[in-house]
A and B are shown apart, each in its own frame.
Chain A
Amino acid sequence: MLLAFLGALYTAPLPHDIAAISSRRVLRVAMLDRDDAPYYWRDSSGVLRGSDVDIARDLGRALAVRVQFDRSARTVDDVIARVAAGRDDLAISKLSVTLNRARRIVFSNPYATIHQALLLDRVAYESIARGRRLWDVLHDYRGTLGTIEDSAYGTYALRNFPGATVVRYASWDPLLSALERGTVVAAYADEPDIEAQLRLAPALTLSLRLVVLTDRQDRIAIGVASDSPALLALVNEYIAERTQR
Chain B
Amino acid sequence: MKRRTLGSIASHPAVIVGSMVLAVVLGIFAKPFALALAPLGDLYVDLLEMTVVPILFSIVALSIMKLMIAPNVRRYAMRMAGVVPAIFVLMTAVSGFVAIVVKPGAHIDPNARASLGIAVSDRIERTEIALDTPPSPRPSEAEQIVTALVPQNVFSALTSGDALKIVFFAVILGAALGVLYGAHYHVVYEFIEEVYHAFYQILAWVIALLPLGLLCIIASQTARIDDRVFIAMWVFVAAFVVIAGLLCGGAIAAIAAIGRVSFLQAAAAMRPAFLLAFFTRNSFASIPIAVSALHDLGFEDDASELMVPFAVSFCRFANAAYFTLAALFAAQLYGLPLDFGTVLAIAALAIVAGIASAGTMGIASLLPLGLVMRNAGLPFDAVLVLFIAIDPVIDPFRSMLQIAAGAAAGAGVAGSRDTVAAAAPIEPWRGAPVQ
Which A residues contact B (CB, under 8 angstroms)? 122-123, 125-127, 131, 133-135, 138-139, 160, 198, 201-207, 209-216
Top 5 closest A-B pairs, CB basis? A122-B379, A202-B117, A203-B113, A203-B117, A205-B117
A58 to chain B, nearest CB (A): 32
A203 to chain B, nearest CB (A): 4
A135–B113 CB distance below 8 A: no
B397 to chain A, nearest CB (A): 25
User: Closest B-chain residue to A116, C-beta based?
Assistant: B131
A206–B127 CB distance below 8 A: no
- Docked complex Cα distance between A139 and B334 (Å): 26
| A125-B379, A133-B138, A210-B126 as given contacts; A202 in contact with B131, CB under 8 Å | no
B202, CB-defined interface residue at 8 Å? no
Proximity string of chain B (336-358) to chain A, C-beta cutoff 8 Å, 1 when within and 0 when not: 10000000000000000000000
Given contacts A203-B116, A205-B118, 10 further A-B contacts (CB under 8 A): A122-B381, A123-B336, A125-B379, A133-B135, A201-B114, A202-B114, A205-B124, A211-B128, A212-B129, A214-B129
B379–A131 CB distance below 8 A: no
Set A126, A131, A160, A211: member contacting B127, Cβ < 8 A: A211
A206–B132 CB distance below 8 A: no
B333–A213 CB distance below 8 A: no
Chain B residues within 8 Å of A212, by CB: 126-129
B131–A216 CB distance below 8 A: yes
B379–A209 CB distance below 8 A: yes
| A203-B117, A205-B121, A206-B117 as given contacts; A213 in contact with B129, CB under 8 Å | yes
Q: 13 A-B contacts, Cβ less than 8 Å apart?
A: A122-B381, A134-B129, A135-B131, A203-B113, A203-B114, A205-B382, A206-B116, A206-B333, A207-B382, A210-B126, A211-B129, A212-B127, A214-B130
Chain B residues within 8 Å of A210, by CB: 126-127
B120–A206 CB distance below 8 A: yes
Name, among B113, B129, B333, B374, the residue most crowded by chain A CB atoms within 10 Å (CB to CB): B129
Set B115, B128, B374, B378: member contacting A214, Cβ < 8 A: B128
- Docked complex Cα distance between A135 and B374 (Å): 16
Which B residues contact A (CB, under 8 angstroms)? 110, 113-118, 120-121, 124, 126-135, 138, 333-336, 374-375, 377-379, 381-382
B281 to chain A, nearest CB (A): 27
A41 to chain B, nearest CB (A): 23
A217 to chain B, nearest CB (A): 12
- Docked complex Cα distance between A133 and B134 (Å): 11
- Docked complex Cα distance between A214 and B228 (Å): 33
A126 to chain B, nearest CB (A): 5
- Docked complex Cα distance between A214 and B129 (Å): 6
Set B374, B375, B377, B381: member contacting A209, Cβ < 8 A: B381
B374–A131 CB distance below 8 A: yes
| A209-B127, A212-B129 as given contacts; A122 in contact with B121, CB under 8 Å | no
A205–B120 CB distance below 8 A: yes
A202–B129 CB distance below 8 A: no
Chain A residues within 8 Å of B129, by CB: 134-135, 138, 211-214
B7 to chain A, nearest CB (A): 45
B137 to chain A, nearest CB (A): 10
B117–A215 CB distance below 8 A: no
Chain B residues within 8 Å of A204, by CB: 117
| A126-B374, A127-B377 as given contacts; A203 in contact with B135, CB under 8 Å | no
- Docked complex Cα distance between A139 and B132 (Å): 8
- Docked complex Cα distance between A207 and B383 (Å): 10
Chain B residues within 8 Å of A214, by CB: 128-130
- Docked complex Cα distance between A56 and B124 (Å): 37
B108 to chain A, nearest CB (A): 9
Set A122, A134, A211, A216: member contacting B334, Cβ < 8 A: A122
Chain A residues within 8 Å of B379, by CB: 122-123, 125-126, 209
Set B117, B118, B120, B377: member contacting A126, Cβ < 8 A: B377
- Docked complex Cα distance between A211 and B118 (Å): 17
Set A123, A126, A127, A160: member contacting B131, Cβ < 8 A: A160
